[in-house]
Structure 1
């Protein structure tokens, strides 16, 4: 049986599910890890479909945090309808805020849905969730866990999600988290190669985002042209045509998901990096961004120049940046978003 790290628990325990559910989860584990790196849409889709094979899933979403008050939904389903990815400020007393604050699974049965009703609705506004499970997604560094998102399943019928269904969902969320973490770690390692990133975080620009969108649209256009040509020429039958259309649907969903996550990097990374600093390192970083020299920073903080130098060395290490100007720009990007005018 698999070992499981649910909620905040760090000590492994055997997953308490029946043989049939265990078999489904084992197969899902292999499929999730066999998918190409970076194909997050298909991973999200697989988690939803696996849970739909175990229990009733009427609505489902994956949310990735942008700071402490906003969330992007790169993947959202209501019934069999894929909803357009969106970004919003989550309600302060809703299930997303609850999981962000408590860093453990929220279940409808904990409070009879009080937290759910305090949150923002999604999907069909005429329908009301009668059972909900929302599970945190964690980054898994050696020192500490850092929550980066949630995955949530909803049923329009009451009392659907028992302990076995919740345990299975938490286990799948853990598998998903690890797959996403591997993708991000691969990106970090590749950035160490000369000519790729040189160990520095390469900030996204409007030009790079436009280039990405143009390339993905060109790929989609090529698929559409190929499918249209096959249909016009009578080269494919009904089943093959349906498969080609499914592939196009996947490409559209994948494009939307990837673009949503790409924009999350633009919005969130300066603030995430700043959040890794200690209080004293943040004070040094703010003065660095203001253009002060090391001696001036030392004087302002009433510390020695060597102490400032030591803080800056740790900041460079945490940011993965070596140039003072890079650090100043990245710190300024965070401070600009935190100012009252933004």
Structure 2
């Protein structure tokens, strides 16, 4: 956590003040707009040709809920990050990576994203932290790229690190609110349900329904204001595609096995942390080191996990936990 004055000029400071105000006024849970705001703020300070937000899932997996290359938004994805790339480097070192540190050696060892014909000539990747049981833990990264070399100087890096801290605090407040609300008993007989595939699908279907309503409204206005316009037909096609997607998602639920999710949700928070590391292929000593506990404590947690899962083989546990986490136990 910062304890000294940020070393930026008055113009950059003014931009950051305004960014803080805007982030603070965004609705709770609207993470996309926060990611978008951080990217646009940095684009107003310096050159940003590509940008992504990565959230860790275990020790080798990262999900990208937000990724831009140029002015094109890339589809959210998940992958096992390269062992020597920027994401892995920041995960290990727990500090900011700058292209200037090694002339881009770490960048070249990472996985590419966006347009493969374009090469990043300057990169800054900053860790996102949260406090967990009175200690700081990395949970993700944000990264900005330029196709021109020597763009990111100390002032731009300091501004990006400050924005990363503001973003992390904002995300953590949302997640902490969800956790605290989850401690309450159900209201009027309604229980707070764990996150399952069914809830994810229901949420997605509801969002698509709102999108379809907006498309329908826009199409009707176009037909009224501009009769015969082809744009209204395009909006209709997009609306139909949303409906098709809603139907596909709902039918896919018939084939989903949520048993692995229910088993995982039955673990305590600490047991879940051990389970995720187990699914990543960590040994007991490695799990103990990562969680700052003794090997005996890890052994005790694993015994309770085996009992709750009704499984004895470590490989069986890892496979079942991985099914819940939505990833393969194979490494890329």
Same fold (TM over 0.5): yes
1 CA distance for matches of 2:159 and 2:23? 15
C-alpha contact (below 8 Å) 1:67/1:271 kept by paired residues = no
The answer for the alignment partner of 1:336 in structure 2 is 320
1:23 aligned counterpart, secondary structure: helix
Deviation at 1:281, TM superposition (A): 3.1
The answer for the alignment partner of 2:219 in structure 1 is 228
C-alpha contact (below 8 Å) 1:94/1:116 kept by paired residues = yes
1:211 equivalent among 198, 202, 206: 202
Q: Does 1:284 align with 2:268?
A: no
Q: Does 1:156 align with 2:124?
A: no
The answer for the alignment partner of 2:72 in structure 1 is 81
Deviation at 1:159, TM superposition (A): 0.2
TM-score computed with the length of structure 1 as normaliser = 0.71
C-alpha contact (below 8 Å) 1:271/1:334 kept by paired residues = no
C-alpha contact (below 8 Å) 2:118/2:147 kept by paired residues = yes
Q: Does 1:169 align with 2:160?
A: yes
Deviation at 1:338, TM superposition (A): 6.7
The answer for the alignment partner of 1:318 in structure 2 is none
Deviation at 1:217, TM superposition (A): 1.2
2:151 aligned counterpart, secondary structure: coil
1 CA distance for matches of 2:92 and 2:208? 38
Change (3 A) 1:108 1:327: farther
Change (3 A) 1:103 1:120: same
The answer for the alignment partner of 2:127 in structure 1 is 136
- Please list, as runs of the form range in 1=range in 2, the aligned pairs for 1:16-165 lying within 5 A after superposition: 16-141=7-132, 143-165=134-156
C-alpha contact (below 8 Å) 2:84/2:106 kept by paired residues = yes
2 CA distance for matches of 1:177 and 1:273? 24
Deviation at 1:206, TM superposition (A): 2.4
C-alpha contact (below 8 Å) 1:136/1:173 kept by paired residues = yes
Bigger RCO of structures 1 and 2 (CA < 8 A, at least 6 apart): 1
2 CA distance for matches of 1:166 and 1:55? 10
C-alpha contact (below 8 Å) 1:138/1:146 kept by paired residues = yes
Change (3 A) 1:158 1:228: same
5+ long unaligned stretches in structure 2: 243-260, 278-290
Deviation at 1:273, TM superposition (A): 6.1
1:42 aligned counterpart, secondary structure: helix
2:135 aligned counterpart, secondary structure: coil
Change (3 A) 1:215 1:277: farther
The answer for the alignment partner of 1:255 in structure 2 is none
1 CA distance for matches of 2:38 and 2:310? 38
Aligned length: 272
The answer for the alignment partner of 1:189 in structure 2 is 180
Deviation at 1:35, TM superposition (A): 0.3
More moved, 226-235 vs 109-118 = 226-235
Deviation at 1:85, TM superposition (A): 0.7
Deviation at 1:285, TM superposition (A): 2.3
Change (3 A) 1:72 1:206: same
RMSD: 3.3
5+ long unaligned stretches in structure 1: 6-10, 253-265, 292-324
